[in-house]
Structure 1
């Protein structure tokens, strides 16, 4: 029998809990929480958005710490300074 298109089947609770547990145990091994959600969701047969929403609704989605936010801002500032230095050096090199 053919399954109706557009019908969203709910996932079994074991899948939901298993995927969320797998994420919590392993997300730090990935380049980002989103990358982890994409890979782990695929293993469990759910969508990345579904897994992300489950985690967020239960307050289990990782949040950046204050130290991480400060480091990110520091790196962004450093990147701007280095780009400006590179731009000045490149302009100086063209005038020779």
Structure 2
């Protein structure tokens, strides 16, 4: 049985705020926001989902901007193009 959202209020307010402040300060050091929530949550004795929900409820969960999404698409396209060029060069030198 899953707990309804908001049941995580069993935690002290200091744990909630401390974990969220820790996340705000350090999440960029991790491979993803989810990875940060998992490790930081563990440090504070809470689950990744709990920390993620708290952050989302407060509007503090990182979201990709439209510019970041576009940049990622451009980088993926460039990566594909460079892979093709590399394959062609390797083929020529064999």
Q: State the superposition RMSD in angstroms.
A: 2.6
What is the aligned length? 89
Name structure 1 gaps, 5 residues minimum.
1-5
Q: Which runs of 4+ in 1 moved over 3 A?
A: 6-9, 83-94
User: What is the alpha-carbon distance in structure 2 between the residues aligned to residue 39 and residue 57 of structure 1?
Assistant: 20
Q: Which runs of no fewer than 5 residues in structure 2 stay unpaired?
A: none
**Deviation at residue 60 of structure 1 after TM alignment:** 0.7
Three-state SS of the structure 2 residue aligned to 1:62 is coil
The match for 2:78 is: 78
TM-superposed CA distance for 1:90, in Å, is 6.1
2:92 matched to 1:60?
A: no
Deviation at 1:13, TM superposition (A): 1.7
Distance in 1, Cα, partners of 2:34 & 2:69? 17
| Range with bigger deviation, 83-92 or 26-35 | 83-92
CA–CA distance in 1 between the matches of 2:51 and 2:24? 11
Secondary structure of the residue aligned to 1:83 is helix
Query: Per the alignment, in what secondary structure is the counterpart of residue 59 of structure 1?
Result: coil
| Residues 1-96 of structure 1: pairs in structure 2 closer than 5 A | 10-88=10-88
Bigger Rg, structure 1 or 2: 1
Per the alignment, in what secondary structure is the counterpart of residue 63 of structure 1? coil
Provide TM-score, normalisation by structure 1: 0.72
Further displaced range: 66-75 or 48-57: 66-75
